[in-house]
Structure 1
């Protein structure tokens, strides 16, 4: 007589996340270009903007090579926007799967986050490869600070996106509001400038933005000579922890109503 082995909840949860992760890869890149487009698109954008900024600045910006300066900004803001957008669309895209008892929104959020993290790692490696062929010095004085800053802004984006996903399940129009709120972030987050370029009197209008802190700290991690001012790692980590806590609270209270709405 055959014996039936009972798997633990953790094993089931792991298998569900892996299955959703594979499903996300197949659904996102089922065209001819596949995963390469997710890498080529941001890398080419960084190259074009770096060339334009380099001609204006003469090749260096605040002791950093202009390509490196722009790459830190572009990679960080693109990570935030892509993680936010992917997390905000999780419930809507996977709603049919939630009919299965084993599949819960938290698993879809984790799978989506892992996928976005994988894509951004590939983008980062492609940027480093482009710097090598362009004969640009590849420097990273403080790898730990760089990783912490990037992960903190990634967690912040995913947590905020989860809150938008839950809210959108009740009020679909909120998704349009999210699009309106994220458009200015590209221009006020320090992608094209440093806080050092601005008068101290107006710093307060930019320091509320955790993306700016992540970008400036990433540039500081690349080269200490950059001399980042007006930013704080503690503020960035605080934003990540607070947004994650609030999103988990909202999820715990509303996830059942969100998937059945």
Structure 2
């Protein structure tokens, strides 16, 4: 009789995440273009808008930073946040039929989809770097480690908010429409197209509640120190990240069983 190989809960959990990860890749990129479109689409969009803004500004710097790099950082980070949050928010309802299996829990779907979005955006950043090098564009990064740390913080915020919304969608599906309306202005109030330093200081408090704005501006500062970090705080980002992450874990722990049976 063949011996039955037992697996630990951690191994089972890892296998489930990998299986959902591969399933997500197949379902998301099942056309002829395949997964490459997930990189080509945002790269072309970011590159086109960045070049357009650079041309319209006459190639002038934005507070010591090239217009192209200024736009590229803003566009990449805001896209990363919105796509990751929305994908994570839909992870539970999208994979609800899988939760009939005892080994599969909603957190597995959330981690698999959030991890896929992180890898996709990493490829986008690499491709943008290669294109910039080929076009001889100045994209020297002063502190690449800080840029990576900021990217991880933004990912954690997006996944945390996505997890909270994922639980809420199971009880109130109509919240998806509300989320779409609320998140649209983020593209314009997160410093994507305009620096906080271009706005009079007396109006900063209307915008600086937004941690995405802080991360985008701090990432620009990490790339080019001459850009400055006026009005933004790394401490504020850390507090918001830890708070949202803790709140998301608590919401998930309290409601996941009711959410999948609702």
Which TM-score band (shorter chain)?
A: over 0.9
Paired position in structure 2 for 1:203: 204
Q: 2:76 and 2:124 mapped to 1: Cα distance?
A: 8
Paired position in structure 2 for 1:105: 106
Superposition CA RMSD, Å: 1.0
Q: Does 1:86 align with 2:103?
A: no
Residues 73, 215 of structure 1: 8 Å contact kept: yes
Moved more, 138-147 or 21-30: 138-147
SS of 1:155's equivalent? helix
Q: Does 1:39 align with 2:56?
A: no
Task: Flag structure 2 segments of 5+ consecutive residues without an equivalent.
Answer: none
SS of 1:207's equivalent? coil
Paired position in structure 1 for 2:161: 160
CA shift, 1:52, in A, is: 2.4
Cα deviation digits, residues 176-234 of structure 1 (max 9, x gap): 11101110000110000111100000000110111101111111111111112111111
Q: Does 1:233 align with 2:234?
A: yes
Structure 1 runs of 4+ with >6 Å offset: none
Q: 1:87 and 1:205 mapped to 2: Cα distance?
A: 28
Residues 91, 165 of structure 1: 8 Å contact kept: yes
Q: 2:238 and 2:28 mapped to 1: Cα distance?
A: 30
SS of 2:231's equivalent? coil
Paired position in structure 2 for 1:126: 127
Q: Size of the alignment, in residue pairs?
A: 261
Residues 149, 233 of structure 1: 8 Å contact kept: no
Q: 1:218 and 1:212 mapped to 2: Cα distance?
A: 10
Mapping of residues 138-177 of structure 1, within 5 Å: 138-177=139-178
Q: 1:229 and 1:127 mapped to 2: Cα distance?
A: 27
Q: 1:14 and 1:36 mapped to 2: Cα distance?
A: 26
TM-score (norm 1): 0.97
Q: 2:113 and 2:260 mapped to 1: Cα distance?
A: 17
Cα deviation digits, residues 21-57 of structure 1 (max 9, x gap): 1111111101112112111211111222222221232
CA shift, 1:66, in A, is: 1.1
Q: 2:89 and 2:193 mapped to 1: Cα distance?
A: 26
Q: 2:153 and 2:180 mapped to 1: Cα distance?
A: 22
Q: Does 1:249 align with 2:250?
A: yes
Task: Flag structure 1 segments of 5+ consecutive residues without an equivalent.
Answer: none
CA shift, 1:143, in A, is: 1.4
